[in-house]
């Protein structure tokens, strides 16, 4: 078991992959370390959101993911 | 031909292939016989600008749920009889439909307002990511400043 980090939209290109498996538990500092400096710099921006277990975190710095959880990194959206 | 079945009052869908606009609107019109007015908006991949294809990606746990919440918010804010909110994902060609919104209300202002509200939120506050393929490859698209201003009108 591990935590799955999912890179959405343009973050996928920066990360060079769609998802990455890391050992849990995973907190904010651990997430920043796990994704590499370029994605970490994006994560620090207010407009990038983080979801854990399918819910967007009101405070992404409060991330507490356990083994088996999916953590999605959500850059600014554009639809329509 | 059997008529397309819609859920009422809100029919919200993520579609991974092309949709029949005529069939959808005929079914929507038939479903709200009591409505005094129906407004629809059809968004398409704009031909030109060197765009060869457009791809919309989404995040399964959030996107449809977010659209359902948006439709419900529009329904109560504008006193709608019903709404249809359909959005494509996947790769599309110029001229193809990306999004179809229809709103039914007793009076036209509510129907116009709700369609406008739904589209402004789908453009820049729904869980989609859009990229375009041009001659030199794929480019991610962010909302334009105008899209953000459009959204801010509803705050």
Residue B1 has pLDDT above 60, yes or no: no
Confirm whether B4 is domain-assigned.
Answer: no
Stated pTM of the model:
0.94
B39-43 average pLDDT score: 98
**Nearest CA to B139 among A46, A36, A9?**
A9
pLDDT at B97 > cutoff 90: yes
Residues of A in contact with B98 (CB under 8 A): 80
The larger pLDDT score, comparing residue A80 to residue B45, is at B45
Q: Nearest-CA residue of chain B relative to A72?
A: B59
Find the CATH number of the domain harbouring B75.
3.90.1170.40
CA atoms within 13 A on the CB side of B132: 18
In a domain, B5, yes or no: no
Inter-chain Cβ pairs, chain A and chain B, closer than 8 A: 64
ipTM: 0.93
B48: confidence class by pLDDT, cuts 50, 70, 90: confident
Of B43, B62, B129, the CB nearest to A78: B129
Where do runs of H (alpha helix) occur along chain B?
A: 21-31, 60-77, 108-124, 145-152
User: Which pair of structure tokens corresponds to residue B146?
Assistant: 């105008």
Which domains occur in chain A, in start order? 3-74 (3.10.20.30)
Residues of B in contact with A46 (CB under 8 A): none
**pLDDT of amino acid A80:** 85
Separation of alpha carbons A64 and A26, rounded Å:
6
Residue B125 lies inside a defined structural domain of this protein: yes
- Range of B64's domain? 10-152
Under 8 Å between Cβ of B102 and B24: yes
Among A40, A38, A34, A9, which residue's Cα sits nearest to residue A20?
A34
Over residues B61-83, the pLDDT tens digits come to 999 999 999 999 999 999 999 99
B2 in a structural domain: no
A36 contacts chain B (CB < 8 A): no
| pLDDT above 80 (res A24) | yes
Smallest Cα distance from B61 to chain A, Å: 5
Among all chains, which residue has been given the structure tokens 């088996």?
Answer: A68
Please count the other Cβ atoms lying within 10 Å of the Cβ belonging to residue A46: 6
Q: How many domains does chain B have?
A: 1
């Amino acid at each position: 078991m591990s935590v799955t980090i999912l890179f959405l939209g343009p973050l996928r290109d920066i990360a060079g992959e769609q998802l990455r498996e890391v050992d849990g538990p995973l907190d904010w500092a651990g997430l920043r370390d796990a994704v590499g400096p370029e994605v970490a710099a994006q994560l620090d921006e207010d407009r990038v959101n983080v979801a854990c277990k399918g819910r967007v975190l009101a405070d992404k710095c409060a991330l507490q993911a356990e083994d088996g959880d999916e953590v999605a990194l959500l850059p600014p959206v554009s639809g329509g | 031909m059997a008529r397309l079945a819609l859920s009422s009052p809100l029919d919200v869908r993520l579609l991974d292939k092309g949709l029949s606009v005529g069939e959808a609107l005929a079914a929507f019109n038939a479903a709200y016989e009591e409505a005094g007015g129906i407004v629809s908006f059809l968004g398409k991949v704009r031909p030109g600008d060197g765009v060869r294809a457009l791809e919309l990606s989404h995040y399964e746990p959030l996107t449809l749920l977010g659209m359902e919440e948006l439709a419900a918010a529009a329904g109560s804010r504008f006193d709608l009889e019903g709404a249809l909110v359909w959005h494509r994902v996947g790769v599309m060609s110029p001229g193809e439909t990306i999004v179809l919104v229809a709103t039914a209300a007793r009076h036209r202002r509510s129907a116009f307002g709700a369609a406008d509200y739904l589209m402004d939120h789908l453009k820049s506050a729904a869980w989609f990511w859009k990229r375009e393929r041009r001659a030199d490859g794929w480019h991610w698209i962010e909302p334009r400043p105008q899209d953000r201003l459009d959204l801010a009108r509803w705050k």
